[in-house]
Amino acid sequence: MKLSLKASAILSGFSAVLVLSSLACSASAQPMRFDGSYIGAGATGSVNSVGVPGGAATFGGAIQGRVAISNTPISVRASALFTDKNSAIIPTVTYDYGIGKNTNLYGGVGYSFVQNKGVATPLGNKNSTVLTAGIESQVAKGVVVYGDTKVGLKAYQGSNAAAVNVGGGVGLKF
């Protein structure tokens, strides 16, 4: 079966249009966000507590989890920031924005419950409203890395100062 030159050109042109339109559609599509739930552990520390009444440069550990709410960009998260002297539990609700394959930026609000008020944690020394912003990415099957900044508003006894915390870790998807 011989194709004429004209038929070959038409078929090639039609194929090129299909391929290019397919590429254009996939390039303009929203990136696939990470939509899994995980629990992880890592390190955390305060970055502004020196000189604040009741504050001290405080470094410690963190356990953090995320439960994605199906078919929405909303997640419920919980963090436990701890030292050898005190801990803070922080439930949070976040909005998750996909920026690439299995990668999100997130921001949200929560509340810090300090175990022993007046004793420094990586996020202040009293209960406070917390704003959070971070990034998370599934880097291998079932493995997530994450990092975030938390700001505790009026998080120190005897001061209106905010506590700023930076942390990160590795989680396992469930």
Same domain, 110 and 68: yes
Q: How open is the CA angle 157-160-165, to the nearest 5 degrees? A: 80
SS3 call for 35: coil
Same domain, 82 and 164: yes
Lowest-confidence pick of 25-34, 44-53, 103-112, 153-162 = 25-34
Same domain, 80 and 146: yes
Whether the full predicted model's pTM is greater than 0.75, yes or no, is yes
Give the CATH number for residue 64.
2.40.160.20
Range(s) of the domain holding residue 115: 38-173
Reported as a single tens digit per residue, the pLDDT across 34-58 is 999 999 999 999 987 656 665 667 8
Same domain, 87 and 167: yes
How far apart CA 44 and CA 106 sit, in angstroms, is: 18
Count of other CB atoms within 10 angstroms of residue 63 = 18
Nearest by Cα to 32 from 103, 137, 134: 103
Q: Is 131 exposed, middle or buried (0-12, 13-18, 19+ CB in 10 A)?
A: middle
Same domain, 113 and 73: yes
How far apart CA 88 and CA 165 sit, in angstroms, is: 12
The 10 Å CB-count burial string (b at 16+, else e) for 32-52 is ebbbbbbbbebebbbeebeeb
Same domain, 50 and 88: yes
pLDDT at 55: 61
Scan for tokens 């008020």, then name that residue: 117
Same domain, 121 and 93: yes
Lowest-confidence pick of 28-42, 69-83, 85-99, 118-132 = 28-42
